[in-house]
Amino acid sequence: MKKRMAVLFRSNSGAKPNPVKGCYTALAMFLPLLVLTMLGQRAFGVLVMTGALLTSFGDIDTSYRIQAWSLGMTALGRLIGGPWWVEIVEIFLVVFISGLLSVYGRVAATMGLLLTIPFVSSLANRSGPATALPAAGGFLLGGAILMLFAFLFAWLQSHRSMPRNEVRPNRSQPPLTTRASQLTLTSPLLRFSSLRAVGAAVAAGSGWILGGPPFYWAALTVIICTQQDQKASLMMALQNVVATYLGALLADVLIAGMQNVLALELIVVAITVLAFTIKDLNYLLYLFFFTILILLLISIGMSGQSLAVWRVVTILIGAWIVLVITFLSQLPFFKIS
């Protein structure tokens, strides 16, 4: 039992806390919101803050190319959102295509995952075609501000800790014939990607069936946790359930007990710094603080209303779908050699 708990809370080997990332992410999210609120543009400020938050999913190892693509996918999801059935089809296609990117290696698969997350999240911010373009503009501005802060802080650190002449290792690419053989109708990779995409679409559809606003939480759980490695999928699903339950519990206590809005907003800023400081270090702790952050932000925007129960329910739905996919993927039809 102790070994299982140790694995559950295990930190990533070689990773360290990154307070710089925590600070510039908080600045990129809340400084524009503060300025725009003072100018009487709070609604647009919220969009800018959301764009910075969604773009932060692509903020890994100061990879500005991935951040830029993440920014573009965030705005694209906001622009092409439509009726619920259209968005389910869009989620299926994006998740399916991102799953096929693993044929180009681990880096491409990771990039596909990081681009899918903000795309699916941005679909949830629907307010009609008339405001789609301004909302996409706010998302783009927020993502650009985050990238600007990330570049600025990285530049300040480069003179002290990073070598100027850095040689990038050459990554071998699989032969074209090998890649083509994995994209046939009978290939296990294509079948597994289809199964994962169906699971994400079903998870998204569960939100409309249950009538809950945060439908994308279940879909994101499926997208993030479903992997070809059975043990890795089950561990990530368990981490999501544990971190979400504990984070939702603490967030609900804060929402119910904290009557001072200013104090709650200061807590949100502090939690943002904490969450992105340990983002690369420990997934469970990051998700714990991120759950608190999301629920507090929603509560502030909805005048004290708590969606903690909905958060737990949707994550449980997503985790259950991950378990089903994991079981089905072990069948000979989906087995990956």
Q: One-letter amino acid identity for 270?
A: A
Can you point out the beta strands (E) in the chain?
none
pLDDT at res. 156 = 80
Q: What's the whole-model pTM score? A: 0.83
Boundaries of every domain in the chain = 17-160, 182-337
pLDDT at 214: 61
pLDDT at 62: 45
Write down the pLDDT at residue 167: 46
Nearest of 100, 117, 298 to residue 196 by alpha carbon: 100
Among left, alpha and beta (phi > 0; psi -120 to 50; other), residue 171 is beta
Each of the 337 residues of the chain gets a pLDDT tens digit; together they read 566 666 677 778 777 899 999 999 999 999 999 999 999 999 889 989 988 888 787 655 545 566 666 666 766 766 676 677 788 888 899 999 988 888 777 777 777 887 788 888 777 665 555 566 777 788 788 888 988 888 888 788 776 654 544 444 455 555 555 555 556 666 778 888 999 999 999 998 887 676 665 668 899 999 999 988 888 899 999 999 999 999 999 999 999 888 888 899 999 999 999 999 999 889 999 999 999 999 999 898 887 777 888 889 889 999 999 999 999 888 776 665 4
Residue type, 203: A
Cβ contact 100:192 at 8 Å: no
